[in-house]
Amino acid sequence: MYYLGIDLGSSSIKLALVESSSGKKVGLIQEPEKEMSMHAPQSGWAEQDPTVWWSHVCIGIKKLKATYQITENDILGIGIAYQMHGLVLVDEQGDSLRKSIIWCDSRAVEIGNEACNQIGNEKCYERLLNSPSNFTASKLKWVKENEPDVYNNIYKFMLPGDYIAYRLSNTINTTLSGLSEGIFWDFKEDTISEDVTQYYGFNKNLMPDMVPTFGVQSKISEKGAKETGLKIDTPILYRAGDQPNNALSLNVFHPGEVAATGGTSGVVYAVTSNLSVKEASRVNNFAHVNYVKGKVKNIGKLLCINGAGIQYRWLLNNLGVASYEEMNNLAKAVEIGADGVGIIPFGNGAERMLENKEVGTRIFNLNLNRHSKAHLCRAALEGIAFAFVYGIEIMKSDGIDAKVMRAGNDNLFRSTIFSNTIATLTNQKIEIYDTTGAIGAARACALKNGEYELFTSFTKNDHIQTFEPNENIAAYQKAYDNWKNELEIILNK
């Protein structure tokens, strides 16, 4: 028997099957094989049609069943992960009223900033643990101000994962974690925020009912079964946004545990029970998957680094090299510190951890007579790693006491140089696991009864290697200090 995991991203939907008793990975597919399109009617906007998501989910489930020769009777439960902070609007018939305004859409930034000023910065940080900023609540306010005909026809708003669960079950609900990522949750009162709903003038009837993150949230309806090929009454047992779910996939549940990803952008996600908001302008705070109202206040502190893997990919495309493996081998031939060459890797737009400044990519101390592309490869890996370390230092100043970092087998964390640099400068080991968000969402079905030990046993076979701090910290520290000095000169201009 199996659990099914659905991971709704902005580029594709990944679906996974795992054995319900052992958590063993059985199958993983991506739908569509090429990236989903994104609609950008104006600069800074990003929209997707939620009915397209649903179409790909249906196709993907049928492909998964056919590829691995299972029937609907073999699937015991469904877990859902999804792109965070998006907004989906439906009418009373459950039809979507407009394209979803997704996570990377920036149209509501000023609305959120003004809300923070009017509600009060101190109150927002104390109660919401964030500014309303560009999150779901502010996007809903944008619709209210700019598309009144749409707004007046809203029956319920949803997050992207809520929409997939609704199409499966014909039941509209959400989770506490989901409400917190939309900046609808008051952590001081442990309830839906009156400050946000009253300031924005939202009718609370627009809000979905709240269900626990783990356990039976709803069941597959007759219509959902017909469209997907799943069995009627199969339960949906879990739902979470992509970053909390990535942490769950890496067995990160408790204070002191940190999850990291190193793809196009980088993320450090640390679990804490500390409600500090000292760095709330640079670090976001959300209810983690195992936050329980009135009982367990586990917070996920999320730091995003836009300039990460995209920097290394740019070098791949422009250095005349054939692969990342070739770049990594070139970098290994160069000593720690890249003979003084450094790269500030923030060329992917404004960086929240740098107070939303656009620093760009900078190469410094390059000697045209002595340095080669090997030095640039080493400097890039180190520079991206230094950006992670810089971000971790910010998180530590915000009350994070990291004991272990766990990362997926991403392209950056496959690099010994990259992982050793972070492990050494933070003085903590980095455990690498071969797992995905879809696999994590499937395995999370087993947590319906709080069986953390069973879930932990699922992840043990995923462990690939552990990077320990290097004893030769002096060389790493010198290179990092040079890099940080250069960054601070830029920031202080």
280-332 pLDDT per residue, tens: 889 999 999 999 998 999 999 999 999 999 999 999 999 999 999 999 999 99
For residue 143, report the phi and psi dihedrals to the nearest 5 degrees.
-60, -40
Contact (CB, 8 A) for 393 and 279: no
Q: What is the pLDDT of residue 281?
A: 87
194-206 pLDDT per residue, tens: 999 999 999 999 9
pLDDT, average across residues 378-401: 95
Domains and CATH numbers, the chain: 2-245 (3.30.420.40), 251-434+462-493 (3.30.420.40)
178-194 pLDDT per residue, tens: 999 999 999 999 999 99
pLDDT, average across residues 421-442: 96
Q: What distances in angstroms separate CA 145 from CA 101, 142, 184, 254, 446, one per listed residue?
A: 15, 5, 18, 40, 43
144-162 pLDDT per residue, tens: 999 999 999 999 999 999 9
Measured CA to CA, the distance from residue 108 to residue 47 in angstroms comes to 13
Token couple for 281: 């302008």
Q: How many CB atoms lie within 10 A of CB 153?
A: 15
pLDDT, average across residues 384-388: 98
Contact (CB, 8 A) for 241 and 84: yes
Name the band, by pLDDT with cuts 50, 70 and 90, for residue 275.
Answer: confident
Of 25, 29, 462, nearest to 252 by C-alpha is: 462
Examine the pLDDT at 274 and tell me if it is beyond 90: no
Token couple for 4: 């099914």
Of 331, 330, 467, nearest to 409 by C-alpha is: 467
Q: What is the pLDDT of residue 34?
A: 86
85-107 pLDDT per residue, tens: 999 999 999 999 999 999 989 99
Question: Mean pLDDT score of the chain, rounded to an integer?
Answer: 95
pLDDT, average across residues 214-243: 98
Q: What is the pLDDT of residue 374?
A: 98
Contact (CB, 8 A) for 351 and 357: yes
Contact (CB, 8 A) for 283 and 355: no
Examine the pLDDT at 410 and tell me if it is beyond 90: no
Q: What is the pLDDT of residue 270?
A: 96
Q: What is the pLDDT of residue 411?
A: 79
pLDDT, average across residues 417-434: 96
Contact (CB, 8 A) for 384 and 410: no
Q: What is the pLDDT of residue 163?
A: 98
Q: What is the pLDDT of residue 346?
A: 96
106-146 pLDDT per residue, tens: 999 999 999 999 999 999 999 999 999 999 999 999 999 99
Q: How many CB atoms lie within 10 A of CB 146?
A: 12
Of 249, 261, 337, nearest to 306 by C-alpha is: 261
Is the bond preceding residue 50 a cis peptide, omega within 30 degrees? Answer: no
Q: How many CB atoms lie within 10 A of CB 201?
A: 9
Task: Please state the three-class secondary structure of the chain as a single string.
Answer: CEEEEEEECCCCEEEEEEECCCCCEEEEEEECCCCCCCECCCCCCCEECHHHHHHHHHHHHHHHHHHCCCCHHHEEEEEEEECCCCEEEECCCCCECCCEECCCCCCCHHHHHHHHHHHCHHHHHHHHCCCCCCCHHHHHHHHHHHCHHHHHCCCEEECHHHHHHHHHHCCCEEEHHHHHHCCCEECCCCEECHHHHHHHCCCHHHCCEEECCEEEEEECCHHHHHHHCCCCCCEEEEEEEHHHHHHHHCCCCCCCEEEEEECCCEEEEEEECCCCCCCCCCCEEEECCCCECCCECCEEEEEEECCCHHHHHHHHHHCCCCCHHHHHHHHHCCCCCHHHCEEEEECCCCEHHHCCECCEEEEECCCCCCCCHHHHHHHHHHHHHHHHHHHHHHHHHCCCCCCEEEEECCCCCCCHHHHHHHHHHHCCCEEEECCCHHHHHHHHHHHHHCCHHHHHHHHHCCEEEEECCCCCHHHHHHHHHHHHHHHHHHHCC
Q: What angle do CA 219, 13, 45 make, to 5 degrees?
A: 110
Q: What is the pLDDT of residue 264?
A: 87
Examine the pLDDT at 449 and tell me if it is beyond 80: no
Q: What is the pLDDT of residue 132?
A: 94
Q: What angle do CA 137, 142, 146 make, to 5 degrees?
A: 155
Q: How many CB atoms lie within 10 A of CB 8?
A: 28
pLDDT, average across residues 208-236: 98
Q: What is the pLDDT of residue 401?
A: 87
Contact (CB, 8 A) for 482 and 467: no
Q: Which of 238-242, 373-377, 444-448 has the weakest average pLDDT?
A: 444-448
pLDDT, average across residues 382-401: 95
Measured CA to CA, the distance from residue 363 to residue 378 in angstroms comes to 12
Contact (CB, 8 A) for 63 and 4: no
